[in-house]
């Protein structure tokens, strides 16, 4: 069962890095009691669900539940990551979050969450939503109260993936960021927020400490959050841009300001892929300055706009390597645009062309 191949049993309670503390200070995570690790073939598969917009109204989210169940049955991943706008009702958000979380956890698959702008639209404030999330069985997110409060947002997280042979040695890193919801600055037409400067400082500290731990070599890393960076627009509109997938939305719904997270990724040299949501009709990957900028694929129900067939993005890592594969799995079962990053963008070798 692939849902368990990526989870290495541990006799002692497993630990991950707290979302807002330096490497070396660790705390138990509220999940399956196991650490994430590569399987015996040196592979680790992630399914990214995004923009589910689950609500309590009868029937309108059932389609999204069916999609997620079908895709997990096909892909059998080692981890599910929700990149925001997951539950957008304020009538009974805890019950809906539990229903969403049960889809992976009933299969023995852990999950993590990067909050979106609409997750706290209702009467339940963002801190309470995050308390609900971190209290869910199988969730890898760490409660905010266990972290340094000064770091802005609620779903900033470091999740290591351990080696297949030695489950005590890290191989790859996953960073989650809270791209926040809405700013309150006057006279700015774009109301979506941005990843704040002290979140970037937190990332820089985490990344540099991890690199020092690894004898000066950055661990290969991926980053997940909701609202796309301004660099998505720069890369997608650059002359000769090689875009793999669909760009059908009205451009890119970026935050009000570019606070420099992409530059921080370049400085640290660890993040090789960034995965976001937010724009329901964008589902592409573009390569920019050595980093893949990717959208998840819209996974939502009937209560949201869309032009695309629903589905999810799948990412398959290879242990301790910067190369990874990614594709879109549609609700029909078909998969599209399977590519190898970075080779699909940088090599003329025909074996790296998108398929099918």
Query: What is the token pair recorded at 286?
Result: 């573009």
Exposure string for 248-264, b = 16+ CB within 10 A, e = fewer: ebeebbbbbbbbbbbeb
Residue with tokens 């398959």: 316
Q: What pTM, to 2 d.p., does this model score?
A: 0.89
pLDDT of residue 119: 85
State the architecture of 2-352 in CATH terms: 4-Layer Sandwich (3.60)
Helices and strands per DSSP (H, E), number in the chain: 8, 18
Write down the domain spans for the chain.
2-352
Q: CB count, 10 Å around CB of 292?
A: 24
Quick one: pLDDT at residue 22? 29
pLDDT in tens, the chain (356 residues): 333 333 332 322 222 233 332 233 333 333 345 689 999 999 999 999 999 998 877 677 888 999 999 999 999 999 999 998 899 888 889 999 999 999 999 999 999 999 998 888 878 899 999 999 999 999 999 987 655 567 899 999 999 999 999 889 999 999 999 998 888 888 888 888 899 999 999 999 999 999 999 999 999 999 999 999 999 999 999 999 999 999 999 889 898 899 999 999 999 999 999 999 999 899 999 999 999 999 999 998 776 777 778 999 999 999 989 999 999 999 999 999 999 999 999 999 988 988 76
- In this predicted structure, what is the pLDDT of residue 344? 96
Token readout for 344 is 């699909």
Beta-bridge partners for 288: 291
50 exposure class (CB count in 10 Å sphere: 0-12, 13-18, 19+): buried
Q: Which tokens hold the place of 91?
A: 């009538």
Token readout for 271 is 């993040």
């Amino acid at each position: 069962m692939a849902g368990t191949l990526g989870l290495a049993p541990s006799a002692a309670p497993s630990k991950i890095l707290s979302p807002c503390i330096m490497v070396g200070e660790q705390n138990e995570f509220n999940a399956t009691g196991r650490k994430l690790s590569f399987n015996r073939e040196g592979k680790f598969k992630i399914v990214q669900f995004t923009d589910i917009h689950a609500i309590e109204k009868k029937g309108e989210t059932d389609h999204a539940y069916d999609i997620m169940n079908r895709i997990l049955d096909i892909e059998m991943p080692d981890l599910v990551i929700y990149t925001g706008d997951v539950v957008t009702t304020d009538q009974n958000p805890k019950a809906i979050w539990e229903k969403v979380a049960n889809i992976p956890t009933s299969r023995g698959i852990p999950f993590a969450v990067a909050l979106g702008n609409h997750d706290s639209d209702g009467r339940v404030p963002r801190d309470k939503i995050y308390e609900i999330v971190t209290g869910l069985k199988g969730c890898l997110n760490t409660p905010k109260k266990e972290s340094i409060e000064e770091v802005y947002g609620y779903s900033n997280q470091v999740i290591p993936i351990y080696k297949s042979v030695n489950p005590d040695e890290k191989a790859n890193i996953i960073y989650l960021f809270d791209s926040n919801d809405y700013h309150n600055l006057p006279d700015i037409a774009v109301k979506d927020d941005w990843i704040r400067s002290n979140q970037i400082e937190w990332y820089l500290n985490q990344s540099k400490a991890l690199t020092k731990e690894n004898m000066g070599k950055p661990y290969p890393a991926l980053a997940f959050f909701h609202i796309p960076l301004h660099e998505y627009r720069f890369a997608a509109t650059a002359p000769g841009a090689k875009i793999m997938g669909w760009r059908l939305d009205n451009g890119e719904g970026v935050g009000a300001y570019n606070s420099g997270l992409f530059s921080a990724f370049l400085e640290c040299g660890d993040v090789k892929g960034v995965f976001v949501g937010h724009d329901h009709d964008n589902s592409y990957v573009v390569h920019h300055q050595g980093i893949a900028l990717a959208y998840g694929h819209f996974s939502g129900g009937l209560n949201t706009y869309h032009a695309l067939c629903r589905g999810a993005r799948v990412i398959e890592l290879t242990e301790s390597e910067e190369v990874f594969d990614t594709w879109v799995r549609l609700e029909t079962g078909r998969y599209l645009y399977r590519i190898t990053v970075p080779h699909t963008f940088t090599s003329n070798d025909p074996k790296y062309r998108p398929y099918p």
